[in-house]
Structure 1
Amino acid sequence: MRVCVFDDQRLGALAGDGTVVDLTDLVSEHTPADDRMNALISDWTALKSAAAERVAAGGGTPEDQVTLRAPQPRPRNLFAAPVNYHKHQQEMGGENGVYADRKILTAEVRKGFLKAVTSIVGPDGAIELPWEDRRFDHEAEIGVIIGKTASRVSAEDALDYVFGYTPLLDITLRGEEDRSFRKSFDTFTPLGPYIVTADDVPDPENLDFWLTVDGEERQRSNTSYLIYGIAKLIEVYSEVMTLQPGDVIATGTPEGVGQILPGETVVLTIPEIGELTMPVVARA
């Protein structure tokens, strides 16, 4: 199932007839708008059948007549894996790398970092670059949405704790500032347009994906090349902190990262999950 947030923060799902059916009333009317997806995910076991019935019936609003927002606007936590592909490690620290001749440590050492949840933006927005004199890069990733409370989960069981997956961009300021600071600007975590539930993604550890800028391919890889795969990331993070329903994990990016500039358009395609298109603008 493809679930989303649309228009005035309503919950929805894409039906086979190309319409978005409304699921908002499945959660309490007292739930704050930004927390509706968290509420849906938390009670998904009980609500899934009702949602599936509406998707099967269709008859919602045509997809092209709704405004799709970030499908998970306010997770409690937004985790990210640093340098989680070996070829990305090489391009960052190699002779001509962004951080030339430095020792670039992978997720095996660095493990992870936190991004501000306020950096999330949906396909209805844009990537806003705040400064003209600094370099900002695109990073293509898969967003993993946690489905139930996870504490000290083994890698063997980890995928049972996933609600779904979504395209995710980790926009990055290059420089000497702390990694969390450089990646937490407003609009620096685009995601969406849909979360595809885990039961519709047979093998998340073998997903092809690619990224283009103005039609030029910059990145292409597969999640099978991750140093720490999705299950391993959940194991590592849940050993330290309790993961909550709705939390987001960004898996890390492969080689091919590059600078983005105002006026360009970034497109991340994950055939089994969806396509995220984001314009790049200068912050007003």
Structure 2
Amino acid sequence: MKLVTYRRHPADAGRLGAIVDDMVVDLERLGEATGEPLPATMLDFIDLGPDAVRVASELLAEMEGDWPLGCTQPLANVTLMAPIPRTRKNVFGIGLNYVKHIEESARSLDTSADMPEKPVVFSKPPTAIIGPDEPILHNASMTQQLDWEVELAVIIGTTATRIREEDAMAHVFGYSVMLDVSARDNRRAGQWIFSKGQDSYAPFGPCIVTADEIPNPHNLDLWLTKNGEEKQRSNTGFMYFKIHTLIADISSGMTLEPGDVIATGTPEGVGAGRDPQEWMWPGDVIEYGVEGIGMMRNPVVKIG
């Protein structure tokens, strides 16, 4: 399933939907019409576990083409939000997780050229999350080096504490797309959260694709363009630490809970690694995506 959080009007609360062709099916309303209780929000749905995915999938297959009244909206008539508009805790970010990005970062950002022995973990607060078409905020008094990083996002489905690598993938609910926006000149004594955690620095979406639809998340193309010009193109197969390793490592000391998000790192092609270096500025439009999930678009807008 491709699951979204959508709304009809700006003042509306986000609602859980599934994309079927060019329609959004409201899962709570579909459940009400068929006698299968389903929740109205993404986090509540994830909390229900694998049985909810099975029930919803079966309902969508059974009712397709004969939707109960009031359960569907044309996709063109709704606004998609971030699939989890506000995570319960910080997004887990992974730095330096593609070999060529490690090489370019060593040249341009004074990071080590050696392969890390363990995953490099940082975080982005829930207030950093924005959805499709929402603006990335550029505050010139804060940064002159605003950079892009397209990433595969992993959404946790069941609680994971001290999980073995061989058991880790069973804890994945699904996958999405995230842009790790980074103010390169805001790193503080090696600490990255201010550089990467400011408001609007975690564009996320446009949907969550459930794990059953992506049997091999380590073979997905990902790409990014700025103003139509390609800047990044690679494949998740080039991750240095694979998803099962990331889940095992994080859960060794911090419990992962349903709805937690891990942004798995970016490939080469970031602005800091270019010669000359390139940055995002007001008026730029960033488009990016991951194969099998979807595409995001966000404009860069001046504030301050």
- Normalising by the residue count of structure 1, what TM-score does the alignment of the two structures yield? 0.90
Deviation of 1:153 after TM superposition, in Å, equals 1.1
Q: 1:130 aligns with which of 139, 145, 168?
A: 139
Q: CA deviation at 1:53?
A: 4.1
TM-score (norm 2): 0.84
Aligned Cα root-mean-square deviation (Å) = 2.1
1:234 aligns with 2:247: yes
- Residue 220 of structure 1 aligns with an amino acid whose one-letter code is R
Q: What is the CA deviation profile of residues 225-275 of structure 1, one whole-angstrom value per residue up to 9, with x for unaligned ones?
A: 111111110010011111000000000111110121111111112121111
Pick from 168, 172, 177 the counterpart of residue 182 of structure 2: 172
Q: Separation in 2 of the partners of 1:182 and 1:109?
A: 21
Asked whether the equivalents of residues 107 and 227 of structure 1 are also in contact (C-alpha less than 8 Å), the reply is: no
One-letter identity of the residue aligned with 1:261 = W
CA contact (8 A) 1:2 1:14 kept: yes
Does the C-alpha gap of structure 1 residues 107 and 188 become closer, same or farther in structure 2, counting only changes over 3 Å?
farther
Cα distance per residue 1:68-98 (max 9 Å; x no partner): 000012222310111111211111122xx14
Q: Distance in 2 between matches of 1:158 and 1:137?
A: 31
Amino acid at match of 1:213: K
TM-aligned CA deviation for residue 103 of structure 1: 2.7
Q: Tell whether the 8 Å contact from 1:208 to 1:223 is kept in structure 2 after alignment.
A: yes
AA at the equivalent of 2:167: D
Mapped partners of 1:24, 1:172: distance in 2: 37
- Identity, in percent, stands at 42
Q: Deviations for 1:17-63, whole angstroms, at most 9, x for unmatched residues?
A: x2000024569x9x8x8xx3211101032322442244332441111
**Residue 10 in structure 1 maps to residue 20 in structure 2:** no
Long gaps (5+) in structure 2? 8-12, 272-278
Question: In the TM superposition, what is the alpha-carbon distance from 1:223 to its structure 2 partner?
Answer: 1.1
Q: Distance in 1 between matches of 2:53 and 2:264?
A: 26
Structure with the greater alpha carbon radius of gyration: 2
CA–CA separation in structure 2 for the residues paired with 1:71 and 1:136? 24
8 Å Cα contact 2:49-2:158 kept in structure 1:
no
Counterpart residue type for residue 22 of structure 1: D
Which ranges of structure 1 fall in alignment gaps of 5 or more residues?
none
Question: How many angstroms does 1:124 deviate by?
Answer: 4.1
Q: 1:214 to 1:124 in 2, by over 3 A?
A: closer
Measure the CA separation in 2 of the matches of 1:140 and 1:22: 29
1:46 to 46, 51, 57: 51
Residues 110 and 197 of structure 1: CA distance in aligned 2, closer, same or farther (over 3 Å): closer
Structure 1 residues 62 and 118, CA gap change in structure 2 (3 angstroms): same
Equivalent position amino acid for 1:74 in 2: R
- Give, in angstroms, the shift of residue 113 of structure 1: 1.4
Local SS of the residue matching 2:287: strand
The verdict on how the C-alpha distance between 1:245 and 1:106 changes in structure 2, with shifts beyond 3 A counting, is: farther
Are 1:118 and 2:127 an aligned pair?
yes
2:166 matched residue in structure 1: 156
CA drift of 1:222 comes to 1.0
Q: Which moved more, 1:117-126 or 1:137-146?
A: 117-126
Structure 1 residues 65 and 4, CA gap change in structure 2 (3 angstroms)? same
Q: For the residues of structure 2 that align with 1:49 and 1:231, how far apart are their CA atoms?
A: 23
CA distance 1:40–1:106, shift in 2 (3 Å) = farther
Which of 92, 102, 116 lines up with 1:89 in the alignment? 102
Judged with a 3 Å threshold, the aligned counterparts in structure 2 of structure 1 residues 82 and 141 are, in CA distance, closer, same or farther, namely same
Residue 222 of structure 2 aligns to a residue whose secondary structure is: strand
Counterpart secondary structure, 2:168: helix
Cα gap change, 1:130/1:24 in structure 2, threshold over 3 Å: closer, same or farther? Answer: farther
Hey, what does 1:212 align to over in structure 2? 225
Q: Find the aligned partners of 2:114 and 2:28 in 1 and give their Cα distance.
A: 44
CA distance in 2, matches of 1:63, 1:233: 34
